[in-house]
Amino acid sequence: MKVLIVGSGAREHVLAWKIAQSPLLSKLYAAPGNAGIAEIAECCPIESADLDGLLAFAKKQSIDLTVVGPESPLVAGITDLFRREGLNIFGPSQAAARLEGSKSFAKDQMHKFGIPTAHYETFSNINEAKHYVIESEMPIVIKADGLAAGKGVVICETSQEAVSVLTQMMSEKIFGHAGESIVIENKLEGDELSILALCDGEKVIPLASAQDHKRVYDGDRGPNTGGMGAYSPCPLVSREKIQEIVDLSIRPMVRGMAKEGTPYHGLLYAGIMLTKEGPFVLEYNCRFGDPEAQVILPRLKSDLLDVLNQIACGRLQLDALEWHDKACLGVVMASQGYPGFYEKGYVIEGLDSVKNLNDVFVFHAGTSRNDKKQYITAGGRVLVISALGDNLRMAYDRVYAAAQNIRFQGGFYRKDIGRRVMEVYR
């Protein structure tokens, strides 16, 4: 099979890495890819937002399956475009991708289908939103309705902070059109959990559990990011409990979307808060999580390409996936200033020192090469270092031992990914 991967981050790198292991694969392309992906796939300079360009390339190269990594092209309708041209593509339709493209739509769907979620209100008028937060009990959560690259969620501890956030989102438009409408919801307390499931419109197969770390600094301090690290499996929940959460959060949404004529084909991700009252859904994503994919897919025994192709063809034939018993932990190395402004172009040193380490993997997120063929930084999140281990502690030790050998100017990473849960579950 000829396969095209759309995207340029570490999620796309791990997808390429896993798909490259399939005996079904004959040729692997990535658009636009990155310096790490270029080691295992032929990269072509087509941005993920260029849907017509991607379609023309897929037709010219007779691509058998296109796998879409990021959310933006899915929300823009790439799946519908390819399918109209008779091309197989993995990902939900534009109508189904609204679950990520619009926070208010997702919350309305949860309410409609009886899926537990925090109480919420939606506003497109800033004065009404400000009045609401001034009268609300704190803390609250303010979310940009549209896509904001994982940064459009702010927890506000005071009404003054909430008014300031509303001004930034709705008046100053720090997230562009994404913040023209906002969702305000009660803050839930508990542990967060990432549940990812493969869906063919009817059947649902959950992937291994994972827990992401969104805050930029150790101790869950600082602003939210696209994710600073993750681990899998999550010892907070048993396999039986995961099935219960899937039955509560994923299956009702898949059934409901099918009944409404927008069946969900692809990967559905539910962000879960494990509260004292039970699991509540925080949000849905319409693609593989990042960095969750970088700790889930290294544990997968099954042929990923075969499974993705089954879904793209309309029918999942498997009832379950096979998994390695090992744990996996991943740490994001980021540029100084992330998730705000950051410089690019710094040389990355030490990659060769970890290349041949057993069960250690480096997935490129924001990298390119300079004229000297050196790897350089090209994004806020630069690398994800993942490692397998017999348990989380072993995976943790391997990751951080490897991370000490990789350097670039201003680079930083959290030192505590997975530490809290390891202290609880020794």
* Predicted confidence (pLDDT) at residue 426 exceeds the cutoff of 60: no
Same-domain check for residues 233 and 285:
yes
Model pLDDT for residues 250-273, shown as the tens digit of each residue? 999 999 999 999 999 999 999 999
Using the structure block, give the residue that is written with the tokens 């063919």: 200
Task: Please tell me the least confidently modeled range out of 27-31, 232-236, 361-365.
Answer: 232-236
Model pLDDT for residues 266-299, shown as the tens digit of each residue? 999 999 999 999 999 999 999 999 999 999 999 9
Model pLDDT for residues 377-388, shown as the tens digit of each residue? 999 999 999 999
Tally of CB atoms within 10 A around 88: 20
Same-domain check for residues 207 and 299:
yes
Same-domain check for residues 369 and 392:
yes
Model pLDDT for residues 343-356, shown as the tens digit of each residue? 999 999 999 999 88
Amino acid found at 192: E
Select from 281, 312, 343 the last residue of a domain.
312
For residue 114, is it within any domain? Answer: no
The residues, any chain, with a CB within 8 Å of residue 405's CB and separated by 6 or more, are: 350, 353, 354
For residue 236, is it within any domain? Answer: yes
The two structure tokens encoding residue 418: 């997975």
Same-domain check for residues 381 and 275:
no
Same-domain check for residues 195 and 162:
no
Q: What is the pTM of this model?
A: 0.94
For residue 111, is it within any domain? Answer: no
Q: Lay out the sheet containing 27-32: strands in order across.
A: 42-43, 27-32, 2-7, 65-68, 89-90
| Domain of residue 76, CATH code | 3.40.50.20
- pLDDT bracket for residue 425 (50, 70, 90): low
* Predicted confidence (pLDDT) at residue 150 exceeds the cutoff of 80: no
What share of the chain in percent tops pLDDT 90? Answer: 92
For residue 203, is it within any domain? Answer: yes
Q: Give the mean model confidence (pLDDT) for residues 127-132.
A: 96
- pLDDT bracket for residue 226 (50, 70, 90): confident
pLDDT value at residue 422: 83
For residue 15, is it within any domain? Answer: yes
Domain assignment of residue 14, given as a range: 2-94
* Predicted confidence (pLDDT) at residue 224 exceeds the cutoff of 90: no
Same-domain check for residues 197 and 307:
yes
- pLDDT bracket for residue 190 (50, 70, 90): very high
Using CA atoms, how far apart are residues 349 and 333, in angstroms rounded to an integer? 13
Select from 312, 339, 371 the last residue of a domain.
312
Q: Is 159 exposed, middle or buried (0-12, 13-18, 19+ CB in 10 A)?
A: middle
* Predicted confidence (pLDDT) at residue 149 exceeds the cutoff of 80: no
pLDDT value at residue 355: 87
For residue 168, is it within any domain? Answer: yes
Model pLDDT for residues 295-346, shown as the tens digit of each residue? 999 999 999 999 999 999 988 988 889 999 999 999 999 999 999 999 999 9
Same-domain check for residues 127 and 81:
no
Same-domain check for residues 300 and 197:
yes
Domains in the chain: how many in total?
A: 4
Select from 279, 312, 345 the last residue of a domain.
312
Using CA atoms, how far apart are residues 383 and 363, in angstroms rounded to an integer? 6
Q: Lay out the sheet containing 265-275: strands in order across.
A: 204-206, 191-200, 265-275, 278-285
Same-domain check for residues 175 and 284:
no
Same-domain check for residues 403 and 346:
yes
Same-domain check for residues 281 and 243:
yes
Same-domain check for residues 40 and 126:
no
pLDDT value at residue 236: 85
Which residue has better confidence, 426 or 220? 220
Using CA atoms, how far apart are residues 251 and 196, in angstroms rounded to an integer? 12
Q: Give the mean model confidence (pLDDT) for residues 140-154.
A: 90
